[in-house]
């Protein structure tokens, strides 16, 4: 299920954001090697320094921020959408990393 598909099957922005998070973590778990290559490698010498605006503009994170902005506008969460988005992004990646690295742990 794509993030967009997940969000269209929801009754409100918060439910859409929750469904997007579940779909995102499921995708990461279904593609653990891709996840490791993309998110868990160090920068190479010829790569430019990480620019946070690159991540913000990227597909999945940009979609997450759109969802957070909708939830804040709907009045279901309070705070800065970027700060909230970063926290949710970190939580999703932390969860995925733990589930990939420790699949036999009794979560």
The domain ranges of the chain are: 3-42+52-101
> How many angstroms separate the CA atoms of 85 and 41, rounded?
22
Q: Spell out, as residue ranges, where the chain has pLDDT lower than 70.
A: 43-45, 47-58
User: What is the model's pTM?
Assistant: 0.78
- What is the predicted pLDDT for the residue at 17? 94
- What is the predicted pLDDT for the residue at 34? 85
CA 76 vs CA 15, 43, 69, 95, 105: distances in Å:
10, 37, 10, 23, 33
- What is the predicted pLDDT for the residue at 80? 95
- What is the predicted pLDDT for the residue at 39? 78
């Amino acid at each position: 299920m794509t993030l967009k598909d997940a969000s269209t099957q929801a009754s409100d922005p918060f439910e859409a954001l929750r469904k997007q998070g579940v779909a995102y973590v499921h995708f990461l778990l279904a593609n653990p090697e891709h996840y490791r290559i993309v998110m868990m490698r160090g920068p190479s010498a010829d790569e430019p320094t990480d620019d946070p605006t690159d991540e913000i503009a990227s597909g999945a994170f940009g979609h997450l921020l759109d969802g957070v902005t909708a939830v804040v506008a709907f009045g279901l969460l309070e705070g800065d959408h970027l700060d909230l988005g970063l926290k949710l992004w970190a939580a999703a990646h932390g969860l995925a990393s733990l589930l990939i690295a420790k699949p036999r742990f009794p979560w």
